[in-house]
Amino acid sequence: LQADVYKGVINDVIGQVKEAFLDENVDIDVLQQLKKDWEEKLIASNSVDWDGPRYVPPPPLRQMKQPIMTSTTIPPGSTVRIAQNGQVNTTEYCVS
């Protein structure tokens, strides 16, 4: 969008002075070179992104390990032992 504004201003100015250049018998190539130099100076100054926004890919997603959740149906009257970190707790639960 910003580049479009700059391009529009440059084209308007060039269009407005074209007749004056022709009236003064200045070669139209001089006007075209002036336009080119103006655009190049804007690009070199980094004040405008002339080519428009560039595609920047998003950073790669890091996969996180998700805990594995399982469910088991336990019949009533069974005893359940809970294991955490590879060790079995001594706490037992009776399912009723």
pLDDT tens-digit map of 42-87 = 888 887 776 665 556 667 766 666 666 666 677 777 766 666 666 6
68 falls within a domain: no
80 falls within a domain: no
Domain residues for the domain of 24 are: 2-44
Q: CB neighbours of 95 closer than 8 A, spacing ≥ 6? A: 74, 75, 76, 77, 78, 79, 80
* 92 beta partners: 81
Query: What angle do helix axes 2-23 and 28-44 make, rounded to 10 degrees?
Result: 150
pTM equals 0.49
Of 8 and 71, the one with more pLDDT: 8
Residue at token pair 């007749």: 19
12 falls within a domain: yes
Q: Looking at residue 30, which CATH number applies to its domain? A: 1.10.287.100
15 falls within a domain: yes
- For the chain, the domain total comes to 1
